[in-house]
């Protein structure tokens, strides 16, 4: 049931990304996932409900794949690395349409907007708290942690707009380059030298494989 619902959310997100939320019909989504219009209403109540569930699905993934593992890391620099690498890796693996649709907040009901904003805020606070810890340890560049948090999110989320799975850049190369750029942007310890070994497999990727 959950796998089927996740498939519907990802396919619907791809269609809404290409055509725009307003121009996408429920019939088009039903056809794309191999259901009748009546069948798709078994999973959702309507178009706005579908958008809300896509956004909720995106936040579920972030909480499970990024926030959960990051919260288990006490050391701030490694926690930041886990956040950056795991989130970007997720976008590289499954595509960015679901991520992009998080910008369609205005199409949600006020109640649904409050729910999604609250979940986004929890993620924002996790990253900002991590940067504040780094600042207290003298490891953060001379930047405001709140400004740096917004910038990091901008970098991470923009990956969904430029990366193409069928393009020339291999995902491991994209992840390594992105991680180096993002961490060097905020960490004092990253200045003047790479934080990554010559092996293009990052420490987070290796850790994921052993879980």
Q: Which CATH number belongs to the domain containing residue 139 in this structure?
A: 1.10.357.10
Number of domains comprising the chain: 1
**Cα 64 from Cα 79, distance rounded (Å):** 15
Question: Residue 99 falls within a domain, yes or no?
Answer: yes
Handedness of CA 39, 107, 110, 154 (dihedral sign): positive
Question: Residue 39 falls within a domain, yes or no?
Answer: no
> What is the DSSP track for 167-194?
SSS-HHHHHHHHHHHHHHHHBSTTTTS-
Question: Residue 119 falls within a domain, yes or no?
Answer: yes
Q: What pLDDT is attached to residue 117?
A: 95
Question: Residue 72 falls within a domain, yes or no?
Answer: yes
Question: Residue 171 falls within a domain, yes or no?
Answer: yes
Percent of the chain with pLDDT over 70: 88
pLDDT tens, 35-56?
A: 888 888 888 888 899 999 989 9
Question: Residue 8 falls within a domain, yes or no?
Answer: no
Q: What is the mean pLDDT of residues 165-181?
A: 94
Question: Residue 75 falls within a domain, yes or no?
Answer: yes
pLDDT tens, 194-206?
A: 344 434 444 444 4
Question: Residue 20 falls within a domain, yes or no?
Answer: no
β-bridge mates for residue 85, sequence order: none
Range of the domain at 56: 47-209
């Amino acid at each position: 049931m959950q796998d089927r619902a996740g498939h519907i959310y990802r396919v619907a997100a791809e269609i809404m990304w290409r055509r725009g939320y307003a121009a996408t019909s429920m019939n088009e989504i039903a056809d794309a996932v191999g259901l009748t219009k009546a069948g798709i209403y078994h999973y959702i109540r309507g178009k706005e409900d579908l958008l809300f569930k896509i956004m909720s699905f995106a936040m579920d993934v972030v909480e499970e794949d990024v926030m959960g593992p990051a919260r288990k890391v006490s050391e701030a620099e490694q926690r930041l690395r886990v956040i950056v690498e795991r989130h970007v890796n997720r976008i590289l693996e499954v595509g960015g349409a679901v991520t992009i649709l998080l910008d369609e907040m205005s199409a949600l009901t006020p109640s649904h907007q409050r729910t999604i904003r609250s979940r986004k805020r929890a993620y924002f606070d996790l990253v900002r708290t991590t940067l504040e810890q780094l600042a207290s340890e003298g490891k953060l560049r001379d930047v405001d942690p709140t400004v740096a948090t917004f910038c990091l999110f901008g970098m991470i989320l923009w990956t969904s707009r430029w990366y193409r799975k069928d393009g020339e850049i291999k995902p491991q190369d994209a992840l390594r380059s992105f991680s180096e750029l993002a961490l060097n942007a905020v960490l004092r310890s990253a200045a003047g030298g790479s934080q990554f070994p010559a092996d293009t497999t990052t420490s987070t990727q290796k850790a994921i494989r052993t879980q």
